[in-house]
Chain A
């Protein structure tokens, strides 16, 4: 199948095994230009393995990845970044002990050899956060002092700033209050309105995510089992899907137990 030019990202037949454990069986998905895709999956469905493959951390055993129609073999996190894929992790790759602006430029520091160009980084960080509507009073403050929502916003802003064209957001609303969550959802909506980045939101809890996604995919047992535009699905349908899987899994386990302990 030929990749349409509008697809920012296309994943074909990705498989990944860790020893005897098959994390991903056969994953196929695509992300259109400027689209926000919700990727939903329960624990152990293979979400984090998929993210790690797309961000260059793991290499897939099989399958291929196409970025803007061109096949790429991601060698490292840096390489993934070079081709425009950037990931904002659940555990936030922010360093608590560093200031906001140092975090914004982590591993992409502006240098006036041999020293850091702190003044330039401060100015650019402030400017960029303002542009994105992220309100941080003082970019010299340590991120340890910020709230979860502010930290997430900085992590997202950092990725966008680094010219990411494909953004993977891993559980962006995890452990976040309603107010904080709204801040992030607004940020994602703003990014969508600009249309320069395509976004995959990986989520465990889809209720909130649904409102900003154009399309939803469900990952189950290492495969994409569901793909519909958000407008054609409902929270109920997704819940049923996940619950059905849970029940099936429990029944299978029970059957297994009966077999092994007669």
Chain B
């Protein structure tokens, strides 16, 4: 580590010759780009587009892009919440079950209690927020590690879902058909539009607001954040609630899109694990303190491209998991390596 206490520019004697201006500008630009954590994932995403388009001309058709968008969007929305929670130093494996439960909550509210469509949807989101609150409460107040807490709530919610629904899918409630269903998922690009909106909002929340700063602080230096007077309990619980609400929202979008309320929405742990994978591939550290929302979106895009491209090429879906596993491990290893570089790096 170079220790420049109070000396302005370095002595110069042992400095290499400065490169020519044009090249220096180029180098600074590449440097700045590569230092952004999202950069490498973006390159991979673009590389995959080029590769799959070269292999099969269908890849970049509107129809196929819509497929990719629909595969990316709901999980990316969950991944956004996961990023915030991981940055604050916690994890939630129950979110996929919240996604499956939320459409049922809406269905019960409308079809059993005759609540109008919009309030019913809001009620489902509020209940999801409550589930997030309980996760936060058990984790922080009762000091149960969040992985264990949410593992418990995962099974609990699964039980609630199966006993109340008898594991049968149901139709989308009549009052939501039409505009609501179109806007909330059934429209061709609706899920993608919501996904981009969520990504944009939470990117700003994480990088440009007090909430984001405190989320990073609580995950990066829990003791220090508390000593600075930041209420870690509030920040973490809030992020648990955000994940749950985003999970519920993604579940509702999915239900409207597939035009059925199905206990298998989210595939049990699948949406959760894919979202965590997307966050990790996007450069979010599980240790807390750092992560990017846009990275998670790109990570999810990479996974969706892979799955879609493999389908088009006729490669067995089974080998997709092989690739996903390698992608997670490779990006984690690269992350470790890069962050060490960044830390030691040029100031």
The secondary-structure label for the interface of chain A is loop
Are B216 and A145 in contact (CB-based, < 8 A)?
Answer: no
Interface segment, one of A21-29, A84-92, A221-229, A230-238: A84-92
Are the C-beta atoms of B225 and A93 separated by less than 8 Å?
A: yes
What chain B residues lie within 8 Å of A115 (beta carbons)?
Answer: 204, 208-209
User: A96 CA to B343 CA in the complex, in Å?
Assistant: 10
Q: Is the CB of A150 closer than 8 A to any CB of chain B?
A: yes
Q: Are B5's CB and A150's CB within 8 A?
A: yes
Instruction: Using A94-B224, A95-B217 as known contacts, say yes or no to A114 and B229 having CB atoms under 8 A apart.
Output: no
Q: Given that A96-B221, A96-B289, A106-B230 are known contacts, is A144 also in contact with B6, CB under 8 Å in the complex? A: no
Quick check: B216 and A98 within 8 Å, CB to CB?
yes
Chain B contacts for A87, CB-based, 8 A: 227
Cα separation A144 to B290 with both chains bound (whole Å): 12
Q: How far is the CA of A13 from the CA of B125 in the complex (A)?
A: 53
Q: Would A109 and B5 be within 8 Å (CB), given that A92-B224, A115-B204 are in contact?
A: no
Q: Which of B209, B217, B220, B226 is A116 in contact with, Cβ under 8 Å?
A: B209
A118 to B209, CA, bound (A): 10
Q: A183 interface residue, CB < 8 Å from B? A: yes
Given contacts A93-B224, A95-B289, A102-B213, contact A180 B208 (CB under 8 A): no
A81 contacts the other chain (Cβ, under 8 Å)?
yes
Q: Is the CB of B213 within 8 A of A77?
A: no
CB distance from B283 to the nearest CB of A (A): 13
A12 near B: Cβ within 8 Å? Answer: no
Contacts of A98 in B (CB 8 A): 213, 216-217, 220
Q: For A111, give the chain B residue with the smallest CB separation.
A: B210
**In the complex, chain A residues whose CB is within 8 Å of the CB of B223:** 91, 93
Interface positions of A (Cβ within 8 A of B): 55, 57, 76-78, 81, 87, 89, 91-98, 102, 106-107, 109, 111, 114-116, 118, 135, 137-138, 141, 144-145, 147, 149-150, 179-180, 183
A-B contact pairs, 7 of them (CB 8 A): A55-B227, A95-B225, A97-B289, A107-B228, A115-B204, A147-B4, A180-B5
- Extra pairs beyond A98-B217, A137-B8 (13, CB < 8 Å): A89-B224, A107-B214, A107-B229, A107-B230, A109-B210, A111-B210, A115-B208, A116-B209, A137-B347, A150-B5, A179-B5, A180-B3, A183-B6
